[in-house]
Amino acid sequence: MNTATKSESIEWAEHRVEARTGGAWQVPAGCLLRVTDIEGSQTGDVFLVDAADVADGLSNGRSFDYNDSILLSVGSRLYSSRSKVLATIVADDVGRHDFLYTPCSQEMYEIQYGVTAPHPNCYDNLTDALAQFGVPRSTVTVAFNIFMISSVSADGRLTVSPTQSKRGDSIVFRAERDLLAAVSSCSSDTCNGGGSRPLQVSIGTVR
């Protein structure tokens, strides 16, 4: 009897996203994007863009529609505004993420918290990081907010609860086409149970 075996190894390139900052990377089709909560209790914003069309980015509405759900986890596919499959969630230690809220922004901190000085925020982190790849700011709409817990009550009211992510928990996306992926470590105390902490971003290439 012949038994076919396939040896597969994954080579990981590691990047650290410091608290309240962001970064962006190229993730070729078939490669993996893993985001790890290094210390625990930290949420992050992930925004994906079609590398071949920088005006076409992640869409919560398309993803809700094609997954028939607002809660996405292993097996769920993330879609772009133009209905392209950008990524599939292939591993998920936490299992709960938000896709209803826009990234926190300077304007959000001003409107909701009365902040007057510049405040670190996910919108600027994501858009600044993606700008190096020529992605216009307007492409960034609603990010996939990993480890963030939002709840919808029967009357439509929204509430945000502190994340249940623990030290070392991660989520892994497989790129279904060539992507630009931005990750921000969220600065909002509401989501993170106070404070802000770093995230680890790992880009995995299957050999």
Residue 55 Cβ, how far from its own copies at the closest point, in Å? Answer: 4
Residues 6+ apart with CB under 8 A from 174: 30, 31, 32, 33, 87, 88, 90
Regarding 184 and contact with its own copies (CB under 8 A), the answer is no
Choice from 152, 161, 166, 189 touching its own copies (CB under 8 A): 152
- CB of 135 vs its own copies, minimal distance in Å: 11
Which of 188, 184, 183 lies closest to 203 in space, CA to CA? 183
Question: Shortest gap between Cβ of 156 and its own copies (angstroms)?
Answer: 3
- Cα 193 from Cα 162, distance rounded (Å): 5
Which of 37, 56, 92, 169 touches its own copies (CB under 8 A)?
56
CB of 62 or CB of 177, closer to its own copies: 62
Regarding 81 and contact with its own copies (CB under 8 A), the answer is yes
Q: Which residues contact 1 (CB under 8 A, 6 or more apart)?
A: none
Tell me the number of residues near its own copies by CB under 8 A.
36
Nearest distance, CB of residue 24 and its own copies, angstroms: 18
Q: Side chain identity at 42, as an amino acid letter?
A: Q
Of the candidates 172, 162, 186, which has an alpha carbon nearest to the alpha carbon of residue 41? Answer: 162
Among 38, 40, 64, 133, binds its own copies (CB under 8 A): 64
Identity of the residue, 32 or 171, whose beta carbon is nearer to its own copies in the bound complex: 171
Strand-pairing partners, residue 87, are 78, 175
71 near its own copies (CB under 8 A): yes
Give the Å distances, CA to CA, from 125 to 39, 160, 207.
Answer: 20, 21, 31
136 binds its own copies (CB under 8 A): yes
Interface segment toward its own copies; rule CB under 8 A; list 1-9, 25-33, 35-43, 139-147: 139-147
Cα 146 to Cα 160: distance, rounded to the nearest angstrom: 13
Task: Please state, in angstroms and rounded to a whole number, the distance separating the CA atoms of residues 31 and 27.
Answer: 6
131 near its own copies, judged by CB under 8 A: no
Sites of contact with its own copies (CB under 8 A):
55-56, 59-62, 64-66, 68-71, 81-83, 100-102, 105, 107-108, 111-112, 136-139, 141-142, 152, 155-159
